[in-house]
């Protein structure tokens, strides 16, 4: 039996050109692919490769399954979109490892980075994350709303640009409206906000508005939302405007 291994890999935001050669090499060497259904659907089937798509919200079961297969000698790639360390499977896998059987700790485990949605969106719009910024997951599955609101207010007070993942879902249609209310109160109505949907795919849509104009229905679960700091500005051009934050705060 060959030695098993596990790689937790980021597939980037969507465009195949944005998958790193390191991730492509791991996928080519894999015997088994594990991940959320739409991410596994991005992997081309081939002889000798078994695909194990699973539903959302079963991250720990998925991680345990991947670790068990690697322990049994399989070459397993766990796929995430974007980067696997950003609100994704790498942390879930280590949660399973920490509490799982001791023999899992002997496994060859590697995290292979990918281009996270925040950086892909930022690049398409210009450079809104050019100065200090923070990233916040707006999903309240794993944390209570008061904690999200506290982090928003403190990030606004610190004058960070903010990148929001998971801005909206069918299960929480009112969450983003509350976030926008808090931001208008903390940052004012003129602050620019970017809604970047399905970046690097054929469905890509970018919209830059002011916080005063922003509405929750401008985002869905495929949208990255970036709010500027007090320094973030727009360069108007005949084609698309550029949204950027200068490097200096003085």
Q: Which of 36, 160, 165, 244 binds ligand SAH (CB under 6 A)?
A: 165
Contact predicate 116/86, CB 8 Å:
yes
Crossing angle between the packed helical segments 59-71 and 89-99, to the nearest 10 degrees: 70
For position 224 contacting ligand SAH by CB under 6 A, the verdict is yes
Angle, alpha carbons 205-208-214 (nearest 5°): 105
CA-to-CA separations, 131 to 102, 127, 128, 207, 250, in angstroms, rounded: 43, 9, 8, 21, 12
208 binds ligand SAH (CB under 6 A): no
Binding mask 118-137 for ligand SAH (x = CB under 6 A): ---x----------------
Which residues from 17-76 bind ligand SAH, rule CB under 6 A?
A: none
Which 77-116 positions form the footprint of ligand SAH (CB under 6 A)?
A: 80-83, 86-88, 116
Stretch that binds ligand SAH, among 24-32, 39-47, 170-178, 216-224 (CB under 6 A): 216-224
The distance of closest approach from Cβ of residue 38 to ligand SAH in the complex, given in angstroms and rounded to an integer, is 10
# chain residues binding ligand SAH, by CB under 6 A: 25
Burial state string for 122-148 with b = 16 or more CB within 10 A and e = fewer than 16: bbbbbebbbbebebbbbbbeeeeeeeb
Pick from 23, 197, 46, 231: nearest CA to 127: 231
**Whose CB is nearest to ligand SAH?**
82
Contact call for residue 194 and ligand SAH (CB under 6 A): no
Q: Which chain residues interact with ligand SAH by CB under 6 A?
A: 13-14, 80-83, 86-88, 116-117, 121, 165-167, 196-201, 221-224
């Amino acid at each position: 039996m060959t030695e098993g291994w596990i790689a937790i890999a980021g597939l980037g935001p969507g465009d195949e050109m944005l998958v790193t050669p390191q991730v492509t090499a791991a996928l080519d060497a894999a015997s088994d692919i594990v991940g959320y259904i739409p991410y596994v659907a991005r992997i081309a089937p081939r002889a000798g490769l078994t695909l194990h798509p699973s539903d959302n919200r079963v991250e720990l079961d998925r991680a345990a399954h991947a670790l068990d297969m690697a322990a049994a000698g399989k070459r397993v790639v766990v796929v995430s979109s974007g980067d696997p360390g950003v609100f994704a499977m790498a942390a879930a896998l280590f949660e399973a490892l920490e509490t799982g059987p001791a023999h899992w700790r002997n496994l060859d485990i590697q995290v292979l980075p990918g281009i996270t949605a925040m950086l892909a969106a930022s690049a398409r719009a210009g450079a809104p994350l050019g100065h200090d910024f923070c990233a916040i997951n707006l999903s309240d599955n794993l944390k209570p709303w008061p904690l999200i609101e506290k982090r928003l207010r403190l990030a606004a007070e610190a004058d960070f640009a903010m990148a929001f993942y998971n801005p909206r879902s069918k299960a929480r249609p009112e969450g983003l409206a509350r976030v926008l209310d808090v931001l208008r109160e903390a940052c004012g109505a003129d602050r620019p906000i970017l809604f970047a949907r399905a970046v690097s795919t054929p469905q890509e849509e970018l919209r830059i508005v002011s916080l005063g104009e922003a509405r929750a229905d401008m985002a869905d679960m495929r949208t990255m939302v970036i709010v500027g700091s007090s320094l973030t500005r727009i360069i108007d051009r005949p084609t698309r405007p550029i949204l950027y934050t200068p490097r200096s705060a003085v």
